[in-house]
A = this chain, B = another copy of it.
Amino acid sequence: MPTTNGRSALRLAKLQEALASGGTLHLRDAAELCDVSEMTIRRDLTTQKTAISLLGGRLVMANYPGVTPIYDLNEQQASHYQAKHRLCQRALAYIQEGDTLFIDCGSTLMPLLSQLSHFHELTVVTYALNVANAVAALPNVRLVLLGGLFYPASQSFGSDNMAAAIERLGINKALISAAGVDLERGVSCFHFHEVAPKQAAIATAMQRLLVVDASKFGVVRPAYFAALDDFDVVVTDEEKTHSSQYLGCGNAPLLS
């Protein structure tokens, strides 16, 4: 095993370049490209800390979406996924043909996106890179990405004129996610740059849906962005004794 990062790191850099344009590189080709044996590439990958990972004999960029958690969705995640899936299934019920949807950042709404392929005419507005990537793959969904400076923490963009950009769009339904929902302290998230787009979407959308799993109830996060009754619908996975899932369009308070 190489202790110093000599030629090993150089090879990995070379391979990373080759992979940067997207795609996969077979171990055999990688070895040939670097003019070493496959075993050496293997060792490079295990020894050195690298963004490249080996997936069934093929090199892929591990930090690319769609590969990212090589640390697979296993048992626990699969069950946790079920929860998110059910949540999105409920949210899906509110979506109709021809809608222009605002999709918030985070992982909550991701399971919803692939479901959108069932529609014929749909527009998705988002400021999140992961959402954009998933939607870009859908053939019959128009994608509008609100750009700006990229914030890695939330995989989303922020810009001073994002609010204005959102208001110019005819957003039909806003699907908003949150990290905390509290009856008194309102709805909050982790990152402050998310506040402006969320608020703008809430302000312009004809229907506002808050999509949160029950674990977020009673939690307060640093960035407040809305009161609970700013939303027309709250989509949740659990039927609490003191909450109603659908509050109608009449701004009926939740958890009252």
Q: Given B75, B111, B152, which contacts A20 in the complex, CB threshold below 8 Å? A: B111
User: Is A132 positioned at the interface, with any CB of B under 8 Å from its CB?
Assistant: yes
A33: shortest Cβ distance to chain B, in Å?
Answer: 6
Q: How far is the CA of A134 from the CA of B132 in the complex (A)?
A: 14
A69 and B18 contact, Cβ closer than 8 Å, known pairs A78-B29, A144-B148, A150-B132: no
Q: How far is the CA of A148 from the CA of B143 in the complex (A)?
A: 8
A148 contacts across to B, CB distance below 8 A: 144-145, 147
CB closest residue in chain B, given A161 = B165
> What does the 1/0 interface line of A215-245 toward B look like (CB < 8 Å)?
0000000000000000000000000000000
* Pair A64/B67 contact, Cβ less than 8 Å: yes
- Oligomer: number of copies: 2
User: Is A157 positioned at the interface, with any CB of B under 8 Å from its CB?
Assistant: yes
A135 contacts across to B, CB distance below 8 A: 150
Q: How far is the CA of A147 from the CA of B65 in the complex (A)?
A: 19
A17: shortest Cβ distance to chain B, in Å?
Answer: 5
* Pair A147/B150 contact, Cβ less than 8 Å: no
A118: shortest Cβ distance to chain B, in Å?
Answer: 9
* A contact patch SS: mixed
Q: How far is the CA of A66 from the CA of B32 in the complex (A)?
A: 21
A132 contacts across to B, CB distance below 8 A: 129, 150
Q: How far is the CA of A51 from the CA of B144 in the complex (A)?
A: 22
A142 contacts across to B, CB distance below 8 A: 149-150
A23, A78, A165: most-surrounded residue (chain B CB, <10 A): A23
A130 contacts across to B, CB distance below 8 A: 21-22
Which residues in chain A, 3-57, are within 8 Å of chain B measured between CB atoms?
13, 16-26, 29, 32-33, 51, 55-57
* Pair B143/A149 contact, Cβ less than 8 Å: yes
Q: Given B17, B129, B133, which contacts A111 in the complex, CB threshold below 8 Å? A: B17
* Pair B129/A67 contact, Cβ less than 8 Å: no
* Pair A29/B73 contact, Cβ less than 8 Å: yes
A74 contacts across to B, CB distance below 8 A: 26, 29
Which residues in chain A, 71-90, are within 8 Å of chain B measured between CB atoms?
72-75, 78, 81, 84-85
Can you list 9 pairs linking A and B with CB atoms under 8 Å apart?
Answer: A18-B78, A21-B110, A24-B69, A25-B72, A61-B137, A64-B64, A64-B67, A145-B150, A146-B147
The 3 closest A-B pairs by CB, nearest first: A56-B56, A64-B66, A147-B147
